[in-house]
Amino acid sequence: MEVGTTASHLSVMRDPSKPLNTSHEYQFSVLEVPTGNHVFSMSTGTPFSIPVTFPDSADASHIRILDFNNKAIYSTSFPADGSWTNLAIQVDWNALTLAAFVSQGALPLKAVIGLLPREGVPSGTARQREFHLGVLKYPIADPKDGANASNTPRFGIQEGSTDGLFFSGVFVEDATTGISAGFDKALPMIT
């Protein structure tokens, strides 16, 4: 999976019966290296911060694509109407670059980010990365936690996990022959 140029695909939709609390940050997709750092990740909601951001961040109802340094490199709306958001992240494992493709609903993917360098990313050994999907809900920082506020697994305000997302179309492909855009269409990889 980590040789040449690959594209990691997924489609995500809100679960209307388990709405997200956009005061929280939700991380739902990560390509992780053995050190625990991320090649890229995807999140929605209000980014975890100390002190807390009130009210919710302006892009709390958006999906953010984050680079290796956890910096948002692209943001797109995340509809609450039960429609899919389709995403693909191109990773060139030799040049250490990222590119992204996005679409909404039944529309084919289109390129939204050209090549970006993944500064500081260790190339490491192939086949040692993990593509994760799930709903990781960060707490809201609690001022009473003081120095422990950044210890998100153990501290912070967390109402429980009654939030949900649907996933579909999850796969990783060799991008050198084209990036699947949907409806039997392929896009050339970004070079």
| Total domains in the fold of the chain | 1
Full residue range of the structural domain in which residue 178 is found: 5-187
pLDDT of residue 72: 93
Whether 121 shows a pLDDT value over 70: the answer reads: no
pLDDT of residue 122: 57
The CATH number linked to 181 is 2.60.120.1160
Whether 2 shows a pLDDT value over 80: the answer reads: no
pLDDT digits (tens, 9 = 90+) for 45-93: 999 988 887 778 888 999 999 998 889 999 999 999 999 999 999 999 8
Which residues are CB-contacts of 49 (< 8 A; sequence separation ≥ 6)? 141
Which residues are CB-contacts of 153 (< 8 A; sequence separation ≥ 6)? none
pLDDT of residue 38: 85
Q: What is the mean pLDDT of residues 180-189?
A: 92
Under the banding of pLDDT at 50, 70 and 90, the label for residue 96 is confident
Mean pLDDT of the chain: 90
pLDDT of residue 103: 97
pLDDT digits (tens, 9 = 90+) for 156-170: 999 877 899 999 999
Q: Convert the chain into a string of H (helix), E (strand) and C (coil).
A: CCCCEEEEEEEEEECCCCCCCCCCEEEEEEEECCCCCEEEEEEEECCCCCCCCCCCCCCCCEEEEECCCCCEEEEEECCCCCCCEEEEEEEECCCCEEEEEEEECCCCCEEEEEEEECCCCCCCCCCCCEEEEEEEECCECCHHHHHHCCCCCCCCECCCCCCCEEEEEEEEEEHHHCEEEECCEEECCCC
Question: Considering the entire predicted model, what is its pTM?
Answer: 0.90
Q: Environment class of residue 151 by beta-carbon count within 10 Å: exposed (0-12), middle (13-18) or buried (19+)? A: exposed
What the block records as the tokens of 92 is 């060139």
Q: Omega of the bond prior to 143 within 30 degrees of 0, cis?
A: no
Hey, what amino acid is at 87?
A: L
